[in-house]
Amino acid sequence: MTQPVRIIISGGGTGGHIYPAIAIANTLKNINPDTEVLFVGAEGKMEMQKVPQAGYKIVGLPIRGLQRGFDLSNFLLPWRFLNSLLKARKVIKEFRPQVAVGVGGYASGPLLYIAGLMKIPTLIQEQNSYAGITNKWLAKRASKICVAYEGMNAFFPAEKIVLTGNPVRKDILSADQKKSAAISHFQLWDNVPTLLIIGGSLGAGTINKSIQGAIETLKQTSVQVIWQTGKYYYEACQKAVAASGATNIRVFDFIGQMDLAYAAADVVISRAGALSISELCLAAKPSILVPSPNVAEDHQTKNAMALVKADAALLVKDTDAQQNLVTTALELLNNPERKEVLSQNIVKLGYPNAAEQIAKEILNLVH
């Protein structure tokens, strides 16, 4: 008979932190249904919605990140951090976790710091090829550090590192078997090259502007487009497509069934967030990465370069996107040999059992 296990998972801020955290929780529950998982996030951030939707309880801390430029809210940061430490201590005392897990983002800082002081084993999951500030700060007290890229001993003690990859949704693994379902779902034409454009859960301004500026070009081609714009950009992009009369461009604010989107795609344009890259590796899709310049320590460029060096993806700089992105995509769509090379190389970088490996490391710390 399995014993109940209590795990706290903290972090969030973006889908790139939240979805791997939920995948880890689901895997822990699959291994031992008696596992209790409590999430800790940042008040007002997307994890406060997404985690309960996945069926888990979450507690919010008043922690915030440093805002760029002069912002009065930055003066409240010391108070918010101290208050978050106190609340984290209260949560830990009440829940009594056997292991605390941090998935990155500033919400994981106070919780894992206090857990370390209280002698509770801690595990960090670093998704990017360039470690975040919070995880570097927490690494000294961490028991284990699960990473998705080689060479992370540049940031963390080598003896604590386990190369696991990033957890992603399992349905993406079988995307290649769903082509006909994908064509039906997105109302596409059969045997027409398909370009998938994704900009992360919030959308990507530069990518959207690049596509918007090339609608007439795309309209004249023999390709079809699935364009996920993000909620903020959706209305303007939808209107631009409608005004052009293009019938080969499907516009969505959000795509729930990403497995079908990957199944339909012959080439993918994407930001270079850790979760997006992990999904592209498992889906084995020829990809053009446009790293966001608006992220801490430019980690998306570093993520993308890890693939470019392995000849597993193409890179278009954010500053060059409006001029070169669509041209690059059309050239790749019309180059079967290059697509095949990229597809074969990117699939080698995937870790299909990442969630299981991370769950195993967590349970080893329990025992």
* 157, 176: one domain: no
* 86, 194: one domain: no
pLDDT at residue 314, rounded to an integer:
98
Q: What is the CB neighbour count within 10 angstroms for residue 177?
A: 10
Q: For residues 204 and 197, give the distance between their C-alpha atoms in angstroms, rounded to a whole number.
A: 10
* 286, 304: one domain: yes
* 154, 263: one domain: no
Residue 101 lies in a domain: yes
Cα dist. 24→36, 135, 166, 303, 360 in Å? 12, 18, 10, 22, 10
* Numbered residues of the known binding site for UDP-N-acetyl-alpha-D-glucosamine: 14-16, 128, 169, 201, 255, 300
**Overall domain count for the chain:** 2
State whether residue 57 is helix, strand or coil.
Answer: strand
* 90, 115: one domain: yes
DSSP string, 143-196: SEEEESSTTGGGTS-GGGEEE------GGGGGGGG-HHHHHHHTTPPTTS-EEE
Cβ-contact 61, 45 below 8 angstroms = no
* 219, 262: one domain: yes
Residue 226 lies in a domain: yes
Q: How many helices (H) and strands (E) does the chain have?
A: 15, 13
Greatest C-alpha distance within the chain: 64
DSSP string, 83-98: HHHHHHHHHHHHH--S
Residue 293 lies in a domain: yes
pLDDT at residue 133, rounded to an integer:
82
Cβ-contact 12, 45 below 8 angstroms = yes
pLDDT at residue 1, rounded to an integer:
45
Residue 309 lies in a domain: yes
Residue 189 lies in a domain: yes
Residue 45 lies in a domain: yes
* 225, 335: one domain: yes
Residue 1 lies in a domain: no
Strand-pairing partners, residue 146, are 125, 162
* 161, 203: one domain: no
pLDDT at residue 80, rounded to an integer:
75
Q: Which domain holds residue 308?
A: 170-347
* Numbered residues of the known binding site: 14-16, 128, 169, 201, 255, 300
Residue 202 lies in a domain: yes
Mean pLDDT by 10 residues, the chain (367 residues): 84 80 94 95 87 94 67 67 92 97 88 95 92 88 94 94 91 85 95 91 84 96 95 93 96 92 97 91 96 82 94 96 97 97 95 95 93
Sign of the alpha-carbon torsion through 154, 155, 161, 165: negative
* 159, 199: one domain: no
* 175, 323: one domain: yes
* 222, 256: one domain: yes
Classify residue 320 by its DSSP letter: G
Q: For residues 30 and 274, give the distance between their C-alpha atoms in angstroms, rounded to a whole number.
A: 24
State whether residue 19 is helix, strand or coil.
Answer: helix
pLDDT at residue 171, rounded to an integer:
83
Q: What is the CATH number of the domain that holds 56?
A: 3.40.50.2000
* 158, 183: one domain: no
SS3 content of the chain, % helix, strand, coil (to 5): 50, 15, 35
Q: For residues 161 and 266, give the distance between their C-alpha atoms in angstroms, rounded to a whole number.
A: 35
